[in-house]
Amino acid sequence: MDLLALAERAARQAAGLLRDAERPIDPSRWQSKGRNDFVTDLDRHAEDLIRDILLEATPEATLVGEEGSPELRGDGLRWIVDPLDGTTNYLHGFPACAVSIAAEVAGVLEAGIVLRLEPEIRFSATRGGGAFQDGRRLTVSTVTEPHHALIGTGFPFKYPELLPGYVEQFRRIMLATSGIRRAGSAALDLADVAAGRFDGFWELSLAPWDVAAGVLLVREAGGLVTDLAGVERGAEQGPVVAGNPAIHRWLLRMLEDG
């Protein structure tokens, strides 16, 4: 709970910075990190703010952040931070973006928060303590039939070599469910699985900062999060399949067939 309180303090200050700042709508102020992947000075400033708050309180910790130290590793307390998940959405004024912070101790996710910017919604979880949205306990959905299910996804926009297989997966799942949605923020997608709005979710390659807090949210809400082979996911790079137990099992079969 101490780790969660610290993460929330850092997330709220970063969210305040992002809300109050002048949004750089001119593309000349965007910097490209890769194919369709942008970063601005605001992302970096938000991560610096988060780093200062977290490491001042826990100087023994290390921090893995999308913008400043993506390769840093540590064996004790590790903070895994995405200062602005959904940067492209933010730049276009599309309100699906969030600050995501997780605390991992000795490789085990212990606490996490996903703070949606607009409107502000707080998703939080601690290991063994449950998952919550603004203080209300979350549980994954009870949908068991695929044709009733709403599934979230993320496009492999950074990895065009994955597109042929992804398109086949998309076709199979679209034809078997009530719909697929892609909002552009994996942290919020996983929060929506935890809240029961999505019955399942998959994406073929996500980074630790994309998923660390969301993985804990889903698990503490009674859901499953694995890779494509059904191996339990932690905070590492790779594919993610999440959902309530029934839809998760079905998704794994569909993705393997695809």
Supply the pLDDT for residue 36.
Answer: 47
Final residue before a domain boundary, out of 113, 137, 161:
137
Rounded Cα–Cα distance for residues 170 and 46 (Å): 34
Supply the pLDDT for residue 40.
Answer: 72
Supply the pLDDT for residue 256.
Answer: 86
Rounded Cα–Cα distance for residues 90 and 185 (Å): 10
Whether residue 119 is found in the same domain as residue 224: no
Whether residue 14 is found in the same domain as residue 130: yes
Question: Which positions of the chain have pLDDT values less than 50?
Answer: 34-38
Residues 239-258 pLDDT 10s: 999 999 999 999 999 998 65
Supply the pLDDT for residue 39.
Answer: 57
Question: What is the number of domains present in the chain?
Answer: 2
Residues 128-183 pLDDT 10s: 999 999 999 999 999 999 999 999 999 998 888 999 999 999 999 999 999 999 99
Whether residue 129 is found in the same domain as residue 9: yes
Provide the domain limits for residue 221: 146-257
Give the residue among 100, 130, 135, 127 at the shortest CA–CA distance from 213. Answer: 100
Q: Is residue 127 exposed (0-12), middle (13-18) or buried (19+ Cβ within 10 Å)? A: middle
Whether residue 162 is found in the same domain as residue 237: yes
Whether residue 93 is found in the same domain as residue 128: yes
Predicted TM-score (pTM) of the model is: 0.92
Rounded Cα–Cα distance for residues 241 and 252 (Å): 7
Whether residue 11 is found in the same domain as residue 126: yes
Whether residue 199 is found in the same domain as residue 92: no
Whether residue 132 is found in the same domain as residue 158: no
Whether residue 127 is found in the same domain as residue 217: no
Q: Domain containing 246 — which CATH number? A: 3.40.190.80
Rounded Cα–Cα distance for residues 190 and 212 (Å): 10
Final residue before a domain boundary, out of 137, 161, 190:
137
Whether residue 17 is found in the same domain as residue 132: yes
Whether residue 76 is found in the same domain as residue 51: yes
Give 27's contacts (C-beta < 8 A, 6+ positions apart).
none
Whether residue 6 is found in the same domain as residue 132: yes
Neighbours of 170 (CB within 10 A): 18
Q: Domain containing 43 — which CATH number? A: 3.30.540.10
3-state secondary structure of 231: coil
Final residue before a domain boundary, out of 137, 161, 178:
137
